[in-house]
A and B are shown apart, each in its own frame.
Chain A
């Protein structure tokens, strides 16, 4: 109230207007600057305490005694086995989810059929389900006493407590990524070029390979990066279906837990750092790809 009254008085005396308003504008500017710095300090402080400091700490603790113990720990036979097993599972689950993810995206974005919304929900279900429940669910279908247990046993197919089960578990938890990243790109791409190609006599497969796939490739690649990161790090579901047999069905994340619980902190930290480095590489890849896929979201 009082400031507007003084403003009215000031405007009556024309020459004084700029001088009387100037200090309040400067004060405003100072207040705004203080607010901005304050918010920045809170946001960065929160991130530093929650994210950066803990991750930096584990690198520090791992390498505090030099490279030799770390090298010794990661070259242990079980660590090596866990690492290669993780890669094996990822190498099967990720291509499967990529192919089917593109298929799902095409079906959801281009298909018009009953139950489309239902299919969309089904795809997202793995995001709402605990990994532990995924593991349980697979045991109930493919385990010894599960729905297909007898049939699988009769045909000599091992799923639970062996690699196929671990691949299944990994595929379930990382299922939605490729489809979810591809759908918006497909939407953006539209159907004009595809229709033109079809009119010019291209087969469906030719149209897909020469028009659709090049158009959506960055979305797919982004989805593949997310799928790989999730697949490599999966713990809960794989923990249940693998049986955690040392040197046999132990992936790298399971190996971290095993070492930690056996008080081999050096071994646990070394394996955790390997996984953390892979995560940082993923982050870098995501960041480079965001420029291709979502220019609007990229922060300058």
Chain B
């Protein structure tokens, strides 16, 4: 796209007044609050920051968050891709409804997600499964709330993927496993990675769906966001801020790393 002249730029980018208002809005909502967390976490200097995040309960919570999130996103990568495949390549009655249902976790309030999962997999479960207050409940809730990410990022790519490549490979004698590994997966990898990255960021910060189902037991089922909540309630704001920064950095690091990886992969494939 060609560069626009200064006058045309203003015409497109909005008036000075509009830009000013936008700046104030974003500062009030995002820029100032995030800076405040950063400032609060380091009020006591580096040593205080370190003391807060190396407190055993905080360490346990952060570790648990990262490990369960990793397990959840790997599961998402497999099942999300599989679901996307079935929604694009398969035909069956009711497919439209199934496709619409994928977004349910995005539409459903997180606290309701927790209540809903407890109704089936909690105490008095009609299936005889009770995951309440166990680590499995964390994974279950996170799988629920992050389900749409991989499906929705893989689906459009799969839709565009040319079937003739796969047919050519099959006619040359390639089996389904070879076709999947050599032809389908390489094209889908960037989309899977971006879905995984979004899932991970969401999983690390998730709170609402975990509050009721995990029981928030320190050293057992207490995840990072719940720990931060507890610190705010007990008025340890520097501690809450320090762990918040660690969680935020973990999410951003994974987002950045996977975006680099995805660019590198797609550079090799295309």
Contacts and interface: CB of A to CB of B under 8 A. Distances in A.
Contacts of B40: 140
B201 A147 contact: no
B211 interface: yes
Interface residues of B, number: 93
Interface in B51-101: 79, 82-83, 85-90, 92, 95-96, 98-101
Contacts, number: 270
B256 to A, nearest CB: 10
A22 interface: no
B105 interface: yes
Interface in A46-76: 46-47, 50-55, 57-58, 61
Interface in A284-300: 284, 286-287, 296-297, 299-300
Contacts of A204: 11, 15
A253 B11 CA distance: 42
A219 interface: no
A257 B110 CA distance: 11
A122 B32 CA distance: 11
B229 interface: yes
Interface string A221-243: 00000100110111110011000
Interface of B: 3-4, 9, 11-15, 18-19, 21-22, 25-26, 28-34, 36-37, 39-40, 79, 82-83, 85-90, 92, 95-96, 98-112, 115-117, 119-121, 126, 140, 143-144, 147, 155-156, 159, 173, 176, 198, 201-202, 204-208, 211-212, 224-226, 228-229, 232, 237, 240-241, 244, 247-248, 251-252, 255
Interface of A: 4, 32, 35-36, 39-40, 42-44, 46-47, 50-55, 57-58, 61, 96, 100, 103-104, 106-107, 110-113, 119, 122-123, 125-141, 145-147, 168, 171-172, 175, 191, 194, 198, 204, 207, 226, 229-230, 232-236, 239-240, 252-254, 256-257, 260-261, 268-269, 272, 275-276, 279-280, 282-284, 286-287, 296-297, 299-300
Given A110-B9, A256-B111, 12 more contacts: A39-B86, A39-B90, A40-B86, A46-B83, A131-B207, A132-B225, A137-B37, A236-B110, A239-B229, A282-B107, A283-B104, A299-B96
